[in-house]
Amino acid sequence: MDLKAVQENWNRFGKTDPFWAVLAWPGMEEGRWEVDAFFATGREEIAEVMALIEQLQLQPAPIKALDFGCGVGRLTQALADYFQEVHGVDISESMLALARELNQHADRCHYHLNPRDDLSLFPDNEFDFVYSTITLQHMPPRYARSYLRELMRVCKPGGVLIFQIPSRPKHPVQRALRPLKPTRLWRWYQKLRYGDQPVMNMYGIPKENVMHLIEQQGCHLVHVEPDQRADQAWESYRYVVEKPLTSPKPR
């Protein structure tokens, strides 16, 4: 799946059932999410993230935050309770249209469409806090790796990056078969089965490779913990990364 196909898929989700595509909780499909309840989940999640930051004795300046894969702004708006300015980036125009419509902080939450596999829309060292959850899991790993490098690039020295990404399928058979899944054939099967309906593809990067990537970028892995937000069939982690004040050049 290339980035164009990823974008088309999420544009369809944004037009059909955007809240459920973001949080696929059982019983909430077909427009059953109430707007207030949906955004309350974002506030709960960010409050929990801020408590973790405090527990780890990290102190990102409360100035500028980035929410990568912001969807309809569930977490972008919640981040505005802690940061002066928040930027949400997404590949889907339809998701962003709804994010803008529902934005309660028009002067402080800004949304950006980014169809590229980099974040060249932002300069180096721009954000005090960078967050991404249930996003990197929905794109082929080559793109997730590129965005991870970019998320570390745009994070300020002394800033904090927190992200979630699955590592591998939990079931040994699925794990063994995964590298063999012929992508073209799989896409053809999905097209046959689902037609033009959007599909929620899952991918991961092994934990040791993510840790290596962080090190390569000259950043410091402060904490890693299992995360339950991915599909239950996957082992997934949340990584807390600090960009040192004097960062060695990425290798």
Residues forming contacts to ligand SAM in the complex (CB under 6 A) are 6, 10, 22, 69-71, 74-75, 89-92, 95, 114, 133-135, 138-139, 143
If the CB atoms of residues 103 and 114 are measured against ligand SAM, the closer one turns out to be 114
Helix (H) or strand (E) holding 178: none
**144 φ, ψ (degrees, to nearest 5):** -60, -40
Q: How far is the CB of 16 from ligand SAM (least distance, A)?
A: 13
Q: How far is the CB of 248 from ligand SAM (least distance, A)?
A: 28
How far are the Cα atoms of 10, 68, 84, 165, 190 from residue 109, in angstroms, in the given order?
A: 21, 13, 9, 25, 36
If the CB atoms of residues 232 and 246 are measured against ligand SAM, the closer one turns out to be 232
Strands 155-169 and 234-242: antiparallel
If the CB atoms of residues 70 and 155 are measured against ligand SAM, the closer one turns out to be 70
Cα within 13 Å of Cα(138), Cβ side: 24
Q: How far is the CB of 136 from ligand SAM (least distance, A)?
A: 8
Residues in the chain: 251
209: which 2 tokens?
A: 């490779």
Q: Do 68 and 147 meet the contact criterion of CB atoms below 8 Å apart?
A: yes
Q: How far is the CB of 80 from ligand SAM (least distance, A)?
A: 14
If the CB atoms of residues 82 and 218 are measured against ligand SAM, the closer one turns out to be 82
**209 φ, ψ (degrees, to nearest 5):** -70, -35
Residue closest to ligand SAM (Cβ):
71
If the CB atoms of residues 141 and 158 are measured against ligand SAM, the closer one turns out to be 141
Q: How far is the CB of 205 from ligand SAM (least distance, A)?
A: 14
